[in-house]
Amino acid sequence: MRSSKLVEKYFRTDNLPHLWCPGCSLGIATRALCAAVDELGLDKDKTVIVSGIGCSSRAVGYLDFNTIHTTHGRALAFATGVKLANPELEVIVISGDGDASAIGGNHLIHAARRNIDLTLLVFNNSIYGMTGGQASPSTPQHAKGTTAPYGVVEQPFDLVKLAEGAGATYVARATAYHVNPLIKYYKNAIAHKGFGVVETICICPTYYGRQNRSGSAVEMMQRLKEDYVLNTNYEKMPEEQRQGKKVYGEFVNKILPEYIEEFDRIIADLKGETNV
**What separation, in Å, do the N-terminal and C-terminal C-alpha atoms of the chain show?**
51
Nearer to other proteins, 113 or 223 (CB): 113
Rounded CA gap, 29 and 31, in Å?
5
Name the minimum Å distance from CB 84 to other proteins. 5
**Only segment of 34-42, 45-53, 121-129, 152-160 that touches other proteins (CB under 8 A):** 45-53
Smaller CB separation from other proteins, 83 or 184: 83
Q: SS3 for 51? A: strand
Cβ atoms within 10 Å, residue 209: 21
Q: Please give the single-letter amino acid code of residue 15.
A: N
Q: How many CA atoms lie within 13 A of 124 on its CB side?
A: 28
81 contributes a contact to other proteins by CB under 8 A: yes
Amino acid identity of residue 245, one-letter, is: K
Site for other proteins in 106-135 (CB under 8 A): 106-107, 109-110
Counting residues that bind other proteins (by CB under 8 A) gives: 41
d(CA 170, CA 165): 12
For residue 190, what are the contacts with CB-CB under 8 A and spacing of at least 6? 36, 37, 40, 42, 90, 92, 119, 196
Stretch in the footprint of other proteins (CB under 8 A) among 27-35, 43-51, 186-194, 203-211: 43-51
CA gap 92, 116 in Å, rounded:
12
Helix (H) or strand (E) holding 96: strand 90-96
> What is the nearest approach in angstroms of other proteins to the Cβ of residue 159?
18
3-class SS of residue 88: coil
Among 70, 125, 138, 200, binds other proteins (CB under 8 A): 70
In 107-266, where do the E strands start and end? 119-124, 170-175, 196-201, 228-230, 246-253
Residue 100 touching other proteins (CB under 8 A): no
C-beta of 48 vs 229, nearer to other proteins = 48
x/- site string to other proteins, residues 5 to 34, per CB under 8 A? Answer: -------x--x-------------------
Separation of alpha carbons 248 and 237, rounded Å: 14
Instruction: Please identify, using beta-carbon distances, which residue of 110 and 246 lies nearer to other proteins.
Output: 110
Binding mask 245-264 for other proteins (x = CB under 8 A): ------------------x-
Site string for other proteins, 48-67 (x = CB under 8 A): x-x---------xx--xxxx
Nearer to other proteins, 79 or 174 (CB): 79
Name the minimum Å distance from CB 148 to other proteins.
Answer: 26
Q: Rule CB under 8 A: which residues touch other proteins?
A: 12, 15, 44-46, 48, 50, 60-61, 64-71, 74, 76-86, 88-89, 106-107, 109-110, 263, 266-267, 270-271, 276
